[in-house]
Chain A
Amino acid sequence: MSRHSFLEATLQGFTRAVSKALQSEHAATQPGLLQQLDPRVRVLGIFALVISVILCRRIEAIAAILLVAIAIAVASRVSPASLAKRVWLVVLGFSGVIALPALFLTPGVPLFVLRYATLHLTITVQGVRTAVLLVLRVETAATLTTVLVLSTAWTHILKALRSLHIPAEIVIMLAMTHRYVFLLIETANQMFESRKSRTVGTLSGSERRKMTARTAGVLLSKSIELSQEVYLAMLSRGFRGEVRLLTDFRLKARDYAGLTAFLFTGCVAVWMGR
């Protein structure tokens, strides 16, 4: 590991987060199927499909929902290539590794025996089905969530959450957190970059840890200071602890049709996959 790799990894993480957010903002403005529906229908519909994925017990039914998710993505101007890069490969790398031992550890009917010297590993039919079921379920749910995020502006997701009766305080906290995440990412990014540009020579492990903790400490002090300023700004604009959100959405005929289609697909999948 190079001497600054932990710094670079952190900086890359910040860049990835910001670029993901920009990608979402851009995709949300594209004219597509989901973008034309009311955000509440999008959120409720996609949540209903995610729940149906969790309720399905058959591989075929979950695979059918994945196909539906890909069709929705394409119709919403989200390319399968970006889904593969952002979701499928990442999930395969994580859940695929987790599911791999299940091939051998799940007891059942032997399908194939791997022999190496004295080592005999038996892959069972049940093991293969368990691993495929897990990976497919995670891939499908993650695809649906990503399609929702890529087709809906964050402010619209928040307003839609209000329709799920989530308390207004929580929704406003989510909105404010999302806003200040990017400001604090920028602040932390600048701190790490300036530190990196001033560092000459090799930092010992202890110095690296101190540097990370101090940066986090400075960021905490700045955050508390920022929250105080935000609070005073809210007070000066008349905030008295009551939260009101503007909900200017109106459901149209196509929204009702969309919601019916989502719920129908979810119900059919659950019935097929029971």
Chain B
Amino acid sequence: MHIPDGYLSPSTCATFYLFAATGWYAALKRVKQLLATRAIPLISVFAAFSFVVMMFNVPLPGGTTGHAVGVGIAAIVLGPWASILAISIALAIQALFFGDGGITTLGANCFNMAIVGSFTAYAVYRIIAANSELNSHRRIVAAAVAGYVAINASALVTAVELGIQPMLLHDASGMPLYAPYPLHVAIPAMMIGHLTFAGLAEAVISAGMVSYLQRADLSLLRGVTAFARAPGTMITGANGEVSPGRFSPGRLWWVVACLMLFTPLGILAAGTAWGEWSSADLMNPHTREQIGAASGNHAPPSSVPSGIEKLSTVWTAPFPGYAPRFIKSPAFGYLISAMFGVGILVLASLLARVAARKWPGRNLHP
């Protein structure tokens, strides 16, 4: 998955350096807040550990072996932010010192493996592990799935980066100037190897290490601030688990407000959303043309499929097309729809909180 120099165009390299730099900056800031002076030695030694684990030949079912990136266990033990830095440093050493992965593609490689991998692994692990005991089997399964999904998410992003190169840059005769294969070749070629060997290697190493740590050193599964011993930064959650960061509802409201303000951007999207066609879209010659073009030049059926026709009248939305009928400006309609949708969710959340206070004995998390 380490993209060497020469596979990505200069514009792609620059874009992903920008993405990666944003991630590094945010991660460095967050990790310094979280770990203070402890950050540098912890991240450095963990990066060295990740580097060495990447060299392990992991035995896989069927007698073959594979290499893991170690992003699953890094995200579980360090949390996503510190994991981004540790894996990025390991990748930088590989590129600068051992020539594994390019210099111009280092931004893309760090984005794919360190940023996408860390966040995916952490999110999947937290969702599956939920509030289970630290030494439960559920955590082992969560680690395996987290490692497997993270490495495949990274591989998919890598394949997309490689697959868009022929579209982005080619000469007058149509000859690709960088990675030569389009998306329909790059994605299967990349994913077959990762859905089988590489994903499995990551799952084996993540699950095996969590299983080992459950018996040998449970403290490492409590979260980075628990074992890093940075005074004054611990936030203890269920099971003595330590949250990797401070949750601020105030900031979340600002994010939601910004997202609402940006909802009219949806108007800029050309064509129809693939697979979200109405009966009217399937009968309109102009939209039929767009549907055909977006479906690999396969013409849509000449009449509306009976299932769509039958079910289309079951429910009529109050705001069809993200705008109440009386509003003429589409941008204002998008804003009103966003405010209405967020309002409903806030109301549902408040009702759930009132219900939880009224019946405190009912535990929603068994």
Binding site for B on A (CB under 8 A): 1, 5-7, 9-10, 13-14, 17, 20-21, 24, 47, 50-51, 53-55, 57, 86-87, 91, 94-95, 99, 101-102, 105-108, 126, 129-131, 133-134, 137-138, 140-142, 145-146, 149, 154, 157, 167, 169-170, 172-174, 176-181, 183-185, 188, 205, 208-210, 212-221, 223-224, 226-228, 230-231, 234-235, 239-241, 243
Partner of A227 from the list B45, B63, B204, B205 (CB cut-off 8 Å) is B45
**Which stretch from B48-56, B246-254, B263-271, B312-320 is at the chain A interface?**
B48-56
**A129: B residues at CB distance < 8 A:** 175
Assess whether B44 is interfacial by the CB under 8 Å rule: yes
Binding site for A on B (CB under 8 A): 4-10, 13, 24, 28, 32, 36-49, 51-53, 55-61, 63-65, 73, 77, 85, 89-90, 92-93, 95-99, 102-104, 171, 173-181, 185, 204-205, 207-209, 211-213, 216-217, 220, 227, 229
Partner of B209 from the list A20, A95, A174, A216 (CB cut-off 8 Å) is A216
A173 and B180 within 8 A (CB): no
Report how far A40 CA is from B36 CA in the complex, Å: 31
A126 and B65 within 8 A (CB): no
**A205: B residues at CB distance < 8 A:** 59-61, 63
- Excluding A145-B5, A184-B51, A220-B49, 7 further A-B contacts by CB distance (< 8 Å) are A108-B175, A138-B7, A149-B96, A177-B48, A213-B205, A234-B41, A241-B37
Partner of B180 from the list A134, A174, A177 (CB cut-off 8 Å) is A134
Min Cβ gap B191→A in Å is 15
Report how far A236 CA is from B13 CA in the complex, Å: 42
B209 and A141 within 8 A (CB): no
Q: Quick one: given A108-B175, A149-B99, are A177 and B51 in contact (CB under 8 Å)?
A: yes
Report how far A178 CA is from B51 CA in the complex, Å: 9
Partner of B59 from the list A51, A134, A188, A209 (CB cut-off 8 Å) is A209
A138 and B5 within 8 A (CB): yes
13 contacts between A and B (CB under 8 A): A1-B64, A54-B8, A54-B104, A57-B177, A99-B180, A138-B7, A146-B99, A169-B28, A169-B39, A177-B47, A180-B48, A220-B220, A227-B44
**What residue of chain B has the Cβ atom nearest to residue A8's Cβ?**
B57
Partner of A209 from the list B77, B99, B208 (CB cut-off 8 Å) is B208
**B77: A residues at CB distance < 8 A:** 220
Q: Quick one: given A184-B52, A212-B58, A221-B217, are A138 and B181 in contact (CB under 8 Å)?
A: no
Report how far A170 CA is from B84 CA in the complex, Å: 12
**A224: B residues at CB distance < 8 A:** 42, 45-46, 220, 227
**What residue of chain B has the Cβ atom nearest to residue A188's Cβ?**
B52
**What residue of chain A has the Cβ atom nearest to residue B213's Cβ?**
A217
Report how far A57 CA is from B204 CA in the complex, Å: 43
A50 and B99 within 8 A (CB): no
**What residue of chain B has the Cβ atom nearest to residue A131's Cβ?**
B180
Partner of B4 from the list A91, A149, A217, A223 (CB cut-off 8 Å) is A91
Report how far A17 CA is from B94 CA in the complex, Å: 10
A130 and B180 within 8 A (CB): yes
Partner of B45 from the list A14, A131, A176, A215 (CB cut-off 8 Å) is A176
A212 and B56 within 8 A (CB): yes
**What residue of chain B has the Cβ atom nearest to residue A142's Cβ?**
B99
Report how far A54 CA is from B65 CA in the complex, Å: 34
**A146: B residues at CB distance < 8 A:** 99
**A167: B residues at CB distance < 8 A:** 28
Min Cβ gap B20→A in Å is 12
Q: Quick one: given A6-B59, A224-B227, A243-B40, are A51 and B10 in contact (CB under 8 Å)?
A: yes
Q: Quick one: given A180-B44, A239-B37, are A13 and B213 in contact (CB under 8 Å)?
A: no
**B42: A residues at CB distance < 8 A:** 224, 227, 231
Q: Quick one: given A177-B48, A184-B52, A216-B209, are A54 and B40 in contact (CB under 8 Å)?
A: no
A181 and B177 within 8 A (CB): no
Report how far A14 CA is from B57 CA in the complex, Å: 11
A213 and B45 within 8 A (CB): no
Report how far A142 CA is from B13 CA in the complex, Å: 16
Report how far A217 CA is from B77 CA in the complex, Å: 11
**B89: A residues at CB distance < 8 A:** 170, 173-174, 177
Min Cβ gap B123→A in Å is 22
Q: Quick one: given A54-B6, A138-B5, A216-B53, are A240 and B37 in contact (CB under 8 Å)?
A: yes
Partner of A157 from the list B44, B96, B209, B211 (CB cut-off 8 Å) is B96
Min Cβ gap B207→A in Å is 7
B97 and A149 within 8 A (CB): yes
Partner of A213 from the list B38, B48, B176, B208 (CB cut-off 8 Å) is B208
